[in-house]
């Protein structure tokens, strides 16, 4: 599965390009609307073309991401997948209660994280060593909070609560709690 970092890079480039274009467009409009020239009515055809463009853009964005971001389909249909490993993690009084000190995963394994809160709403996120986010989900008490993820490369990851649960929640960090190792070196 493509690393989430690659998706973020694509998104950064696309949004940066858009920002530059729209800032230049408004600047151009500001110069033109106050410069020499005659006021002309905009043709309705231009307006309707613009509406059509927005409609196509709004719908296609989700179709494109659904078909290019690998975890999107897997996430929506996760009950159809059989995980290679399942980790049940409990959260209570601002503490993650882990099934073992370190969660060891093989590369390319599909792993189900089943996180259960016994009091507040928390978050559950995996972070790389450079603090960038691999993924996250909400952890709502009284409900199933499960996330299926396939790891495509080796690495060591930190677990951190990604939802505010009071000032104590800031310290809900388990450094290097997840390790992804080459296939066939465990089990």
Partner 1 sequence: MSFINTFMNGEEGLFKSDTLTPMQKLTLRFVVVGLIYFGFVVIEGMLMRLYEVKPLPFITEPQFFAILTAHPLVGIFGSTYSIVFGAFLFLVPFLMKKPLWSIKLGNWTLILVAVGTFIFWFAGFVSHYAPLYTLYWPLPADFTQFSVWGGTFFIAGIALVMVGSAFFVINIFKTITYTPDGWEKQPSKALLASALGITGFRNLFTKNKKEHLVPLPVAAVARGSVDVALNTAIILFTGVLILVYMVAAIMGFDLKSTAIDALLYKNWFWWGLDLIADGLVLIFVAGTWYLLAMMISGKPLFMQNIARAALLVELVVSWTVWSHHLLSDQAQPAILKVVSGEMVTAFELITQGLAFFITLATLWSARPLKMTNPLKFLLGGLLGFALAVPAGIMQADIGLNRILHNTQWVVGPHVHVAILIGLTMTLYSAIYLLFPILTNGAKVYSQKLVNVHFWCHLIGGVGMGAFMGMAGLKGMLRRSLYLNGEFNLMMILAAICGTLLLIGFLAFFYNIVMSVGIKGVFGIFTPSKIKTKELVPSN
Measure the CA–CA gap between 138 and 79, rounded to whole angstroms. Answer: 18
In the complex, the smallest distance separating the C-beta of residue 100 from partner 1, rounded to whole angstroms, is 23
Q: Closer to partner 1 by CB, 15 or 186: give it.
A: 15
In the complex, the smallest distance separating the C-beta of residue 53 from partner 1, rounded to whole angstroms, is 9
Q: Which long-range contacts (CB under 8 A, 24 or more apart) does 91-95 make?
A: 91/115, 91/116, 91/117, 91/118, 91/119, 91/122, 91/124, 91/139, 91/161, 92/117, 92/118, 92/119, 93/119, 94/120, 94/161, 94/165, 94/166, 94/168, 94/169, 94/171, 94/172, 95/172
In the complex, the smallest distance separating the C-beta of residue 133 from partner 1, rounded to whole angstroms, is 4
Token reading at 103: 């969660």
| Cα dihedral across residues 145, 131, 129, 177: positive or negative | negative
- By rule CB under 8 A, what string of x and - marks binding of each residue 105-144 to partner 1? --------------xxx-x-x-xx-xxxxxxxxx-xxxxx
When binding is defined by CB under 8 A, the residue of 47, 97, 183, 185 that contacts partner 1 is: 47
Q: Closer to partner 1 by CB, 9 or 185: give it.
A: 9
Q: Closer to partner 1 by CB, 146 or 186: give it.
A: 146
174 lines the binding site for partner 1 (CB under 8 A): no
19 lines the binding site for partner 1 (CB under 8 A): yes
When binding is defined by CB under 8 A, the residue of 37, 82, 100, 101 that contacts partner 1 is: 37
In the complex, the smallest distance separating the C-beta of residue 185 from partner 1, rounded to whole angstroms, is 28
- Footprint (CB under 8 A) of partner 1, residues 142-161: 142-147, 160
- Footprint (CB under 8 A) of partner 1, residues 48-107: 50-51, 54-55, 57-59, 61-62, 65-66, 68-69, 71-72, 75-76
Decide if 157 contacts 178 (C-beta within 8 A). Answer: yes
């Amino acid at each position: 599965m493509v690393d989430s970092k690659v998706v973020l890079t694509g998104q950064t480039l696309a949004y940066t390009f858009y920002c530059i274009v729209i800032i230049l467009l408004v600047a151009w409009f500001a110069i033109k609307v106050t410069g020499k020239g005659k006021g002309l009515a905009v043709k309705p055809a231009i307006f309707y073309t613009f509406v059509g463009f927005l409609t196509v853009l709004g719908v296609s964005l989700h179709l494109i991401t659904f078909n290019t971001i690998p975890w999107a389909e897997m996430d929506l249909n996760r009950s159809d997948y059989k995980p290679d490993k399942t980790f049940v993690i409990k959260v209570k009084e601002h503490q993650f209660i882990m099934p073992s000190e370190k969660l060891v995963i093989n590369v390319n394994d599909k792993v189900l994280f089943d996180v259960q809160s016994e009091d507040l709403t928390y978050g559950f996120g995996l972070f790389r060593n450079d603090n960038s986010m691999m993924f996250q989900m909400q952890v709502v008490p009284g409900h199933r909070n499960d996330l299926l993820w396939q790891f495509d490369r080796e690495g060591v990851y930190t677990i951190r609560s990604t939802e505010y649960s009071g000032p104590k929640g800031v310290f809900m960090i388990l450094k290097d709690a997840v390790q992804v190792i080459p296939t066939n070196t465990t089990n």
